[in-house]
Amino acid sequence: MLSCQKSLFSIPDEITYLNCAYMSPQLKQVERIGQEMVSRKSQPWLIQPDDFFKPGEALKSAFARLINTPEKDRIAVIPSVSYGLGTVARNLNLKPGQNVIVAEAQFPSNYYAWSRVVSESGAEMKVVKAPTGSPRGTLWTEAILQAIDANTSMVALGNVHWADGTLYDLKRIRVRTEEVGALLVIDGTQSVGALPLDISELRLDALVCGGYKWLMGPYSLGVAYYGPRFDNGIPLEENWINRLNSEDFNALINYRDEYKPQAGRYMMGEQSNFVLAPMLTAAIEQLLEWGVANVQEYCKRIAANAIEDLREMGCQIDPNSHLAHHLIGVRLPEGMDMPRLQAEFKKRRVFVSTRGNAIRVAPNVYNTPDDFEVLLDCFREVRG
22-31 residue pLDDT tens: 999 999 999 9
- What average pLDDT does the segment 333-337 reach? 91
Which residue would you say has higher pLDDT here, 334 or 97?
A: 97
Beta-carbon contacts of 228 under 8 Å, excluding residues fewer than 6 positions away, are none
- Among 132, 95, 97, 125, which Cα is nearest to 110's? 125
Peptide bond before 131: cis, by omega within 30 degrees of 0?
no
**CA-closest candidate to residue 180, choices 150, 205, 204:** 150
> In this structure, what DSSP letter does residue 198 have?
-
Q: Is 17 a residue whose pLDDT tops 90?
A: yes
Beginning with the edge strand found earlier in the chain, give each strand of the sheet holding 222-226 in spatial order: 75-78, 222-226, 206-210, 183-187, 152-158, 99-103, 124-128
218-238: pLDDT as tens digits? 999 999 999 999 999 999 999
Give the Cα separation of 130 and 166 in Å (integer).
10
CB 76 within 8 A of CB 264: yes
139-160 pLDDT, tens per residue?
999 999 999 999 999 999 999 9
Confidence check: pLDDT of 357 > 90: no
For residue 120, how many other CB atoms are within 10 A of its CB?
A: 9
| Bridge partners, 224 (sequence order) | 76, 208
pLDDT digits (tens, 9 = 90+) for 162-215: 999 999 999 999 999 999 999 999 999 999 999 999 999 999 999 999 999 999
pLDDT, residue 358, reads: 85
How does the average pLDDT of the chain come out, rounded? 96
Specify which residues 101 forms β-bridges with.
126, 155
Write the burial class of residue 145 (CB in 10 Å: 0-12 exposed, 13-18 middle, 19+ buried): middle
Does pLDDT of 356 surpass 80? no
Range from 52-56, 223-227, 279-283 carrying the lowest mean pLDDT: 52-56
Burial annotation 80-97 (CB, 10 A radius, 16+ → b, else e): bbbbbbbbbbebbebeee
